[in-house]
Amino acid sequence: MSSEMSPIDRAKYAAAVKAVDYVQDGMKVGLGTGSTAFWMIKRLAERVRDEGLRVTGVPTSSRTAALAREEGIALTTLDEAGWLDLTIDGADEVDGDLNLIKGGGAALLHEKIVATASDRMIVIADAAKQVAALGSFPLPVEVIPFGWQTTQKLVEELLEGMDVLGREVQVRQMGGMKLLTDQKNHILDLHLKHIGNPRQLAMVLNQIPGVVENGLFVDICDVLILGQADGRVTVRDLDAGAASEVAADLTEPDNIFAEGGE
């Protein structure tokens, strides 16, 4: 394993290695977006090259699609695939009930659609992403550009009646401009500090006119894989019940670490 990797990247890679073990020949796989998904795509491409693994990927963002093509993974669209065997993606936060906050990479809309069109969703993350309660990471909400300021005011009014500790809402910027998602929408980041009822908040946010989707993933994750810098991973599979700890094989050629994620 490359000594140039940071501890956080080693943890992410350990989770990615374990997750790719779930991929079987002939599967249709949703490919997530973000720094941890980056390592998953790298590892999946290795299996394609070294083992002749046949997979078809459905990317959740233009960045993921570009990386997967560069790595030699065959791609298709979700409409062409119809239904997926599994999706592997990262998370910005995950609680004890496997509820997630996603959208730090501004791909939450595609990520949620792809994940819910899969038999199983595997979430990979470094162990620091596990929290007692969601909310420390700002909750992304994707909104259409038309009337976005009105939508923001409606979101702010809604939060007054929610079980949260903060109510600051900011439109996400990039390079001094409002960020545009792959669907040419904006992202509102909700700084809530603590979310007491993720399920309720997810439902009511999506009822606001102008809101396309929110970054709360409730009852979507089936398997959580948390990586440690020493190569250990903790796997929590809802079908299996109790969590288990195993060691991932991190003995890889140095060239896999030549690029970094987001």
Q: Is residue 18 marked as binding?
A: no
Helix or strand (DSSP H, E) at 233: strand 232-237
Q: Measured between alpha carbons, how far is 126 from 12 in angstroms, rounded to an integer?
A: 5
241: buried, middle or exposed (CB in 10 Å: 19+, 13-18, 0-12)? Answer: exposed
Query: Tokens 């199983």 sit at which residue?
Result: 120
Q: List CB contacts of 198: < 8 A, sequence separation 6 or more.
A: 95, 99, 134, 216, 218
Q: Is residue 244 marked as binding?
A: no
Q: First-to-last CA distance in the chain?
A: 20
Query: Tokens 């940071």 sit at which residue?
Result: 6
Q: Is residue 150 marked as binding?
A: no
Three-state DSSP class for residue 230: coil
Q: Is residue 103 marked as binding?
A: yes
- 210: region left, alpha or beta (phi > 0 left; psi from -120 to 50 alpha): left
Q: Is residue 33 marked as binding?
A: yes
Q: Pick the catalytic residue: 46, 93, 111, 213?
A: 111
Q: Is residue 176 marked as binding?
A: no
Q: Is residue 153 marked as binding?
A: no
Q: Measured between alpha carbons, how far is 28 from 46 in angstroms, rounded to an integer?
A: 17
Which of 216, 225, 260, 209 minimizes the C-alpha distance to 121? 225
Q: Is residue 90 marked as binding?
A: yes
Q: Is residue 35 marked as binding?
A: yes
Active site residue 111: yes
Which of 23, 30, 20 minimizes the C-alpha distance to 77? 30
Residues of 89-117 as b/e, b for ≥16 C-beta within 10 angstroms?
bbbbbbbeebbbbbbbbbbbbbbbebbeb
Annotated binding site for substrate: 33-36, 89-92, 102-105, 129
Residue list, annotated binding site: 33-36, 89-92, 102-105, 129
Residues annotated as catalytic (active site), given as ranges: 111
